[in-house]
Each structure stands twice: as structure tokens, then as C-alpha cells.
Amino acid sequence: MKRRAVITGIGLVTPLGIGKEENWQQLIAGRSGIEKVERLIARGVSTVIGGEVKNFKASDFIKDRKTIKLSLHNVHLAIVAAQLAVKDAGVQVEKVNPAMFGCFIGSGGGGYEDGPGVPDLAEPLLKSWSEEKGKFDPVKFGTNGIAGIYPLFLLKTLPNNAFYYISLAYNIQGENDNIIASFTGGSQAIGDAARAIRRGTTDIAIAGGYDSLLLPATLFSFDTLKLLTQNPKPREACRPFDVQRDGMVLSEGAGMVVIEELSHAQKRGAPIYAEILGYGNSSSAHHLYHPCPVGSGISIALKKSLRDAEIEASAIDYINADGIATVASDRAETRAIKEVCGTHAHRIPVSSTKSMMGHLGTAAGAVELIICALALQENMIPPTINYETPDPECGLDYVPNQARATQLQTTLSINQGLGGQCTCLVIKKVS
């Protein structure tokens, strides 16, 4: 019999809240989680609006102090999201066969926070400036720097830290991937987890992504590349598909799901949100940070996910778009949806929840898939907020400003990242 992969647990840590209830209430109320970020103002960064996870204290969730000390803020978000997902799924870890328990994590690569490894590296680096040469001097670093560096520095900066701590916490010894991507890592992880389950190498897995883009260097870079909004009003700043949109808002967060083989979930009477039906992954092979104008990567991924799900575009009831709110990207995405869905494109509601939570980086794909799952469960579509004036080149139904109650069977989530990586995931209610 064909093996099916279903979502049985959800963990969300986003600017809209910690946990699925808080997040869902904000999402259907159309409330923005974007604010002025105090911790950035204090650091003299000129771009200071963003989606910060509020009231987050790692020690409320993570009891081991060494774990907190040896990992960075973004990893803490990931560990908490995994905790929430495992709790939500009601998994009794000791009853799971460790060799069939998988872990698939998408990571932004993050070995740096507010500068590479600060404060461990700060002192030694600052001691290595050469006045006479007017630049950083590796010779001085050799004499003054290297000996003074915290010996476990390397451990803190490993890009698979979140994977390590999560697999340790739940004794996961089965198939695993730590996927590095700029923004698509979370959805790639979930897609690969579902495949591993369908192919029979895994019965149950934790999968998702995490990131924090609220770092001075990242904000500086995105701003200089003209990818960020210049809108000073935080709540109105992120305007996907609106004609006045002018760029992204950066955020932080984590989204994790528990995915199980259907009979494994049924045997233990687990709640089932949805089945992961199709996954498509492609590359637009166009430019490092400009989207391909015709959206070729997105259309390839879209077609692949529909083929994988063995459904037609007409079966899609809702699309959670990438919708990052730059002029070029929203247009390209709209074109790809129109190309693949044809005459159905105008009938399918498309919304960008980034309008409320901003861009969660490598967590975005996972978090937005979770939103699709919650939408299926509640038969309710979260809106695109700040949508006031349609852009004639983006002529779809973007579910403006108000959540919409409607029967949903099948939903689709689109994500793309810097460098042109694209993913699509299709999920369906389990009847």
C-alpha cells in the first residue's frame, strides 16, 4: 500500500506570537507583527523596523543552560518551535523507534550573530588592527588574537546546531538532512521529510526551518541592495501586491512540524492536520538577488509539485504566496501562477501572510506551510493586509485585508530565495 505523509504537530515561533493559537488569531484578525525593533535602535542601525519575536525568553523553554550558552538566538527559536510541535503532536518519544525517527532542518547557514561569533571573536579581532598599514593585519591576529579565542567558538557557529540540539533532545537516530538555503530551507526540509516517509526510510520526523534576519549586517546589506521598504510606518510597511509596495520587511522566527506516516499516526490516535501531497523544487538560474521576470523557477516548481501530487491546478483552493512585496518579485510570482494555473488563476485566492509577519528568512517556507495547514483545519483564509490599490500587473484575488471563510480541501505554498532557489508544497485534508 502507498505510504502517505501527514502533518500531526505544529510549532510556531513568529513575530505574531509563540504557539499556533496566538499566531492564528493574529493572522485571521489581519494584525501586523511588525514594529520598531528596540534591540536594533540601540545598535545604531538606521533600518529598524522588523518582525521581532516578542516576549521570548529562551530559558522559559530550554532548561539546559549549556545549550543556551553554546547556541545563538536563532537556534533557540528553532529548539522552541520543535518543542511546541512535538507537544502538539502528543508524541511519546520513548515509544518511537529511534532509527525510524528523522530530522530535517533548513538553516540559513547562520554562524554569525551581530558579527561573526561576537563576542568571542570581538576582542581578538579588534586587537589585530594595524595603524601603520591602516587595515586589519593577519600577522597581529596571529600574535595577539588566536590564543585568546574561546576554544568552543567553532561549536557555536556550526550551521547544523539546531539540528544537533533537536536530534539530541528527542533521540533521533534516523534519516536526516541539514539543508542550507537562503529562505527555501524550511520548505525543502519539509518536502524531503515527506519523501523520506513516503519511500519508507522514516516513520516520523521533525522538519522545518529557522532564521533571524534581524542582524545589523543583513539589514545593511538588504537595504543597500534596495530590497527593503523605506516606509517608516511599521504596520503598513509590508504591502505585497499593492501598487505602493516598495520592499521587504525582515523578521525572525521558526516553524517546525511533526510529519508521520499515516498509519503510524492513526495507530496512536494522533490529530491529523493534512497530508503532504506534492513537492517541487527548482532553480530560476537567473540572478543572485533579482527575480527572473517571467518567474520560470516558480513555474517549474509549481508544475513539479502538482505532478507529484497527481492533481490539476483546478484542484487548488488557496495559495499562500511568496509575496515578499518587492515590485519585481510579486509580478514575477503572479506571472508564474497565471502561467501554470491558466484560467483557474483568477478563481484561486492567493494571499501573502508576509504582509503581517514580514520575511522570516529560512523559516518562511515552513511557517507558511503551517499557515496553509491551519487554514485547511479552520476553513479560513488569512488575508494580505495593507492591500489598498491593485497593481494592474498583479491581477489576482489576493484576499485583501479581511480573512475569508470558505471550504478548503487543497492548499499550496510557494517560496523562493536569494540565488533563485524555488519550492512549492501541496497539502490536502485527510478524509
Partner 1 sequence: MTGLGLISPLGLTLEDNWNSLIKGTSGINFISSFDCSSWKVKIAGEVKNFDARFLPGKKKSIKLMNRDSQLAVAATHLALENSRLNREEIDPAAIGIAFGALGVQYTLEEAYTVTYNALGKQLTWLDRSREPKCLNPIWPLTILPNMSLCHVAITHDIQGPNIAFCSLTTSGAQAVGEAFKYIQYGEADIFLAGGCSSLNPSYLFSLFSSGLLSVEQHNPRTACRPFDEERNGFAMGEGAAVVILEELTHAQKRNAPTYAEVIGYGATMQGRTLLYEKELLEARVEGIAACVEEAIAHAKIDPQDIDYLNAEGNATPLSDWVETEAIKKVFGRYASQLSISSTKATMGHLLSASGPAEVIIGTLAIRDGIIPPTINYQHPDPYCDLDYTPNYSKEKEVEVVLSLSLGLNGENVALLIRKFS
Distance CA 297, CA 416 (A): 8
Check if the beta carbon of residue 248 is closer than 8 Å to that of residue 403: no
Q: By three-state DSSP, how is residue 133 classified?
A: coil
Selected from 283, 379, 402, 409, the binder of partner 1 by CB under 8 A is 283
H helix runs in 7-94, sequence order: 20-29, 38-41, 58-61, 65-69, 73-89
Among candidate residues 164, 170, 162, the one with its CA nearest the CA of residue 101: 170
DSSP state of 409: S
Distance CA 9, CA 270 (A): 9
Which parts of 294-323 interact with partner 1 (CB under 8 A)? 296-297, 300
Q: Smallest distance, Å, CB 268 to partner 1?
A: 27
Instruction: Write phi, then psi, for 259 (nearest 5 degrees).
Output: -115, 135
**Shorter beta-carbon distance to partner 1: residue 122 or 405:** 122
Selected from 54, 65, 287, 347, the binder of partner 1 by CB under 8 A is 287
**Shorter beta-carbon distance to partner 1: residue 163 or 241:** 163
**Shorter beta-carbon distance to partner 1: residue 26 or 161:** 161
Distance CA 427, CA 146 (A): 50
Place of cell 579588534: 126
Which parts of 159-198 interact with partner 1 (CB under 8 A)? 159-160, 176-182, 188, 192, 195
Residue 121 is a binding residue for partner 1 (CB under 8 A): yes
Q: Which three cell numbers stand for residue 55?
A: 516576549
Which parts of 123-142 interact with partner 1 (CB under 8 A)? 125-126, 128-129, 135-142
Residue 116 is a binding residue for partner 1 (CB under 8 A): yes
What x-and-dash track marks residues 391-420 binding partner 1 by CB under 8 A?
A: ---------------------------xxx
DSSP state of 19: S
Peptide bond into 216 cis (omega under 30): no
The piece of 37-45, 239-247, 267-275, 319-327 that touches partner 1 (CB under 8 A) is 37-45
Taking each helix axis as running N to C, give the angle between helix 20-29 and helix 364-378, from 0 to 180 degrees, rounded to the nearest 10: 80
Q: Smallest distance, Å, CB 415 to partner 1?
A: 13
**Shorter beta-carbon distance to partner 1: residue 158 or 380:** 158
Q: Smallest distance, Å, CB 283 to partner 1?
A: 4
Element counts in the chain: helices (H) and strands (E): 17, 17
Residue 247 is a binding residue for partner 1 (CB under 8 A): no
What separation in angstroms does the CA of 146 have from each of 85, 114, 138, 139, 149? 41, 20, 10, 10, 6
What x-and-dash track marks residues 85-114 binding partner 1 by CB under 8 A?
A: ----------------------xxxxxx-x
**Shorter beta-carbon distance to partner 1: residue 13 or 302:** 302
Selected from 41, 93, 154, 168, the binder of partner 1 by CB under 8 A is 154
The piece of 76-84, 86-94, 152-160, 371-379 that touches partner 1 (CB under 8 A) is 152-160
Check if the beta carbon of residue 33 is closer than 8 Å to that of residue 16: yes
**Shorter beta-carbon distance to partner 1: residue 216 or 271:** 216
Q: Smallest distance, Å, CB 50 to partner 1?
A: 14
Place of cell 510597511: 237
Q: Smallest distance, Å, CB 389 to partner 1?
A: 29
Residue 293 is a binding residue for partner 1 (CB under 8 A): no
Q: Smallest distance, Å, CB 2 to partner 1?
A: 15
Residue 67 is a binding residue for partner 1 (CB under 8 A): no
Selected from 67, 83, 353, 421, the binder of partner 1 by CB under 8 A is 421
Which parts of 202-231 interact with partner 1 (CB under 8 A)? 216-225
Dihedral sign for Cα atoms in the order 430, 22, 28, 367: negative
**Shorter beta-carbon distance to partner 1: residue 172 or 396:** 172
Q: Smallest distance, Å, CB 117 to partner 1?
A: 8
Estimate to the nearest angstrom the gap between the alpha carbon of 155 and the chain centroid. 24
Q: Smallest distance, Å, CB 280 to partner 1?
A: 8
Distance CA 136, CA 26 (A): 48
Among candidate residues 287, 255, 276, the one with its CA nearest the CA of residue 186: 255
Check if the beta carbon of residue 391 is closer than 8 Å to that of residue 244: no
